[in-house]
Amino acid sequence: MTDNKSVPNVNEEEIAKFEQIASQWWDLTGDFKPLHQVNPLRVQFICQHIAEQKQELFSKNVIDVGCGGGILTESLAKLGATVTGIDMGAEPLNVAKLHALESSLTINYEKITAEEKAQQCNEIFDMVTCMEMLEHVPDPASVIKACAQLVKPGGLVFFSTLNKTVKSYLLAIVAAEKILKLVPDGTHDHDKFIKPSQLIAWAEESQLKCIDASGIHYNPVTENHKLAANLDVNYILCCQKV
């Protein structure tokens, strides 16, 4: 596991990829179209779990780890949460700040790693989200541990990423990057994909109990996403700090 204090858990090449295309972040037809399309479904998944906890997002203190240009971050702010978005890409954060301004939303954006933020802010957030980010870091277990440190006991932490299966190679890399060109070629590295059993094991090592896991299925014809039982490709987890 990455040492929290010395080597930052950042892959500069990965950050550079996002820096390069950051200006497209809010273009609904550009490279981030898949994130815009999936966003309502992940917001629905989050809201459903918050409601099951007999809570609401309004005035809750939330942090979005690896927030990029702020697609999910803004949705959470619109639901009334007090939101912090952190990322290690300067350009995505500049885009996020500008867009929040245009949307008249107050969001605290910071260029900091999850690990450093966790050292500053131990158990101060009611909820943590970390979407489509773990597959871009050298040590995902270290980010999961930091998310667990950031959240208050009893709070929810949401992760989404890609499963490491033959099917995810065929759909997320061959189909999405090479054939359909839904995302730029080279966006994902199959070696960095994470099996749900592995993610859950890392979460549990960090006092996060997985309370729900759902697949996110994409239909390229209708361009719709839906939650489904099969976790073979994209999936989302809801964990609770014990």
Q: Which is nearer to ligand SAH, 54 or 111 (CB)?
A: 111
Residue 236 engages ligand SAH in binding (rule: CB under 6 A): no
Task: Give dist(CA 230, CA 196) in Å, integer.
Answer: 11
Residue 85 engages ligand SAH in binding (rule: CB under 6 A): no
Residue 98 engages ligand SAH in binding (rule: CB under 6 A): no
Q: Which is nearer to ligand SAH, 44 or 221 (CB)?
A: 44
Task: Give dist(CA 212, CA 154) in Å, integer.
Answer: 15
Q: Which is nearer to ligand SAH, 162 or 171 (CB)?
A: 162
Out of 77, 81, 118, 137, the only residue in the binding site for ligand SAH (CB under 6 A) is 137
Q: Which is nearer to ligand SAH, 223 or 242 (CB)?
A: 223
Q: Which residue in the shown chain puts its C-beta closest to ligand SAH?
A: 68
Q: Which is nearer to ligand SAH, 214 or 221 (CB)?
A: 214
Q: Which is nearer to ligand SAH, 10 or 213 (CB)?
A: 10
Residue 196 engages ligand SAH in binding (rule: CB under 6 A): no
Closest CB 155 distance from ligand SAH, rounded Å = 18
Note whether 196 and 163 are within 8 A (CB). Answer: yes
Residue 199's Cβ-side half-sphere holds a number of Cα atoms within 13 Å equal to 31
3-state SS class at 99: helix
Residue 149 engages ligand SAH in binding (rule: CB under 6 A): no
Out of 136, 145, 188, 217, the only residue in the binding site for ligand SAH (CB under 6 A) is 136
Residue 18 engages ligand SAH in binding (rule: CB under 6 A): yes
Residues 37-76 that bind ligand SAH (CB under 6 A): 66-68, 71-72
Instruction: Tell me the backbone φ, ψ of residue 13, rounded to 5 degrees.
Output: -65, -40
H-only helix segments in the chain: 12-20, 33-52, 71-78, 90-102, 114-120, 140-150, 166-168, 196-205
Sheet-wide strand order for 151-162: 108-111, 82-87, 61-65, 125-131, 151-162, 234-241, 208-219, 224-228
Residue 12's Cβ-side half-sphere holds a number of Cα atoms within 13 Å equal to 2
Q: Please name which of 233, 227, 5 lies closest in space to residue 118, comparing C-alpha atoms.
A: 5
Interface positions with ligand SAH (CB under 6 A): 9-10, 14-15, 18, 35, 66-68, 71-72, 87-89, 92, 113, 131-133, 136-137
